[in-house]
Structure 1
């Protein structure tokens, strides 16, 4: 009976191991930057958001609040939002990568993950830009945007990428 479930158990075990390894590695990364404020990757995202907002005509400056490990977005002379570690979407990306590698299919797994990480990075930066603009221009919608609309953007992107991976790569018959 256990033989029937062996492929499913293998996928599940791979997922759990990869997820835990990535999660612990990320926590180690975060712990090594605590004294510097926001971690470098999150700060890099904040700088990209500011760059895009400046190009769109929303003059943006960043204020690095080291003790509270956050960066504030100062947009058109108003502090509108703050970037914290959770805004970098790494927790969602770790889950995404673990899922994709659980259905490992050789080299194309690495190519798909690399392309997907670029897409998720762009989606996340645009998500934060959108949230900042809504908060600046339409503050009455900022809570709805932050709590519902913009999380749906990043989670929806992950689900679409998962579906693409499963339909076109993971479950595709190698003999056809």
Structure 2
């Protein structure tokens, strides 16, 4: 058993680091959600911000959009040209995807400065792509409501997680210490 542990030490270290960071960040995010009372920013600040920024992007694309708090659930209703098209819920704000991204990058950390800036730039990229994802889904739902399942359940999750995967692969191949050890 000890020989196996020694042989796969880097794999075990990666898994334990990834899980530790993932659970700590997820727990911190859950605390944030639990203590976000929704009185100032409904349903929470980040989800509200994503909804408002999505509204601004929709407006910049020539759609008359507005977001309003949903009366029956913690979400923001997206209304385009007077038609209720979509809702922005907590899961739409990309924080869980960013937590997953950060956990992987920290588990494969490189030099501190490089790791830090890659985490920041990757998180901003994921957040920005997510905003465009929401806008494109909203426009798609406005014009093609019968394509809801394929747009929301298949295509756009594949794009956002595909982008995260590419960011991970770029990191491992260019900057991580693990790649340097095996080169």
Please tell me whether the aligned partners of residues 14 and 102 of structure 1 are also in contact (alpha carbons under 8 angstroms): yes
SS at match of 1:143: helix
Q: Is 1:17 the equivalent of 2:23?
A: no
Map of 1:173 onto structure 2: 180
Q: TM-score, normalised by structure 2?
A: 0.90
Q: Report the Cα distance in structure 2 between the residues aligned to 1:8 and 1:145, rounded to whole angstroms.
A: 36
* Pairwise CA distance, 1:94: 0.8
Instruction: Give distance in 1, aligned partners of 2:179 and 2:79.
Output: 48
SS at structure 2 position matched to 1:79: strand
Where structure 1 has 5 or more consecutive residues not aligned to the other structure, the ranges are none
Distance 1:145 1:132, change over 3 A: same
Deviation track 1:93-138 (CA, whole Å, cap 9, x = no partner) reads 1111101100111221111011101110111000000000000111
Q: CA-atom RMSD, angstroms?
A: 1.7
In structure 2, the residue matched to 1:138 is 144
Does residue 71 of the first structure (1) align with residue 76 of the second (2)? yes
Give the secondary-structure state (helix, strand or coil) at the position aligned to 2:133.
Answer: helix
Partner of 2:124: 118
Gaps of 5+ in 2: none
TM-score, with length taken from structure 1: 0.94
1:34-88 superposed Cα distances (whole Å, 9 cap, x missing partner): 4434110011011111001001111111111265110000111100000100111
Q: Which residue is equivalent to 2:43?
A: 38
Q: Structure 1 residue runs of 4+, over 4 Å off?
A: none
